[in-house]
Amino acid sequence: MSAPRRTALVRAPGPRLADGLVSFAERRTVDVDLARRQHDAYTDALRAAGWKVRAVASADACPDAVFVEDALVVSGDVAVLGRAAAPSRAGEAAGAERAARDLGLRVERIEPPGTLDGGDVLQTDRAVYVGLSTRTNEDGICQLARLLGGRPVVPVRVTGALHLKSAVTALPDGSLIGLPDAVDATALPCLRVAPDPAGAHLVVLGPGHVLLAASAPRTAARLAADGLRVTAVDISEFEALDGCVTCLSVLVP
C-alpha cells in the first residue's frame, strides 16, 4: 500500500513543552497555551495549502515531542526512524513509527551507535545533505546513506545551529537559502544568504509557495519580491526552544 499523497504528520505540544531542551536560544518562559494556539495556526496553514494533516500519537513524557521532524525521515516509500542523541527524546520514536506504518511506509531505523535527528536531513533533487551536529553523528549519516538506497548523501558540519535545517533549507526551485556562518558552506552549492536568521528555515508547501516564521519579515519580503507566495506563521514559543517551522511536521508528498 502506498502512502496517501500530500500528508503532513504533526504532533501537538504536550504539557511539559516548557521543559524542552535549549542549546542555542536564550532560555525564557514558554507559554504552553500560546504554543498550542500557534501549533493550531501552523496546521491550519498546512491544510490551507492542500496538505492532509495527520496527528502522531502523543508522547507527553517527552517535552520536545512536538518537534516531530526529528523522529522520522521519509524518502519515497521508506521511513527511517531517527535515533535521538538526547536521552529525554527516546520515547518519541514509537508514535512516529506507528504513524509511518499507518501510511503504508516501509520502516527502517538508525541503530546504535548511530544517532540521527531528522532536523539534520535536507533532501533536494540534487542530493541529501545531512548535518554532522551535536545530534547526528558520522555513524548515523553512514547508516542513513545505506537506507536511502543509493541517493547521494553529503555530510555538512554544523557549528552555529542545533540542526542543519535550523541553518539551511531549500526553496521550491531547489536552490538553498541559509546562514553560511553556521555551517560548512563549502559543502553546499550556491547558498543564498537569508536576510533574517529565522529566514534560513522554511517549508515548501507547493510549487512557488513557502511557509516561513513571522520572525523573518525581511526574508518574506525578499521571497515575495522574487515571485514566491509566502505564508507566515508565528512560532515564537517554539523558537524559544530552538524550534523552527521545519521541525513541527513531516511532509509526505
Q: Are the beta carbons of 229 and 208 closer than 8 angstroms?
A: yes
Active site residue ranges: 163, 247
Distances (CA, A) of 42 to 38, 91, 202: 6, 24, 12
Q: Are the beta carbons of 206 and 50 closer than 8 angstroms?
A: yes
Name the H helices within the chain. 32-48, 93-102, 138-147, 164-167, 217-225, 236-239
Partnered with residue 170 across adjacent β-strands are 176
Q: Is 30 exposed, middle or buried (0-12, 13-18, 19+ CB in 10 A)?
A: buried
Q: Are the beta carbons of 202 and 211 closer than 8 angstroms?
A: yes
Q: Are the beta carbons of 71 and 45 closer than 8 angstroms?
A: no
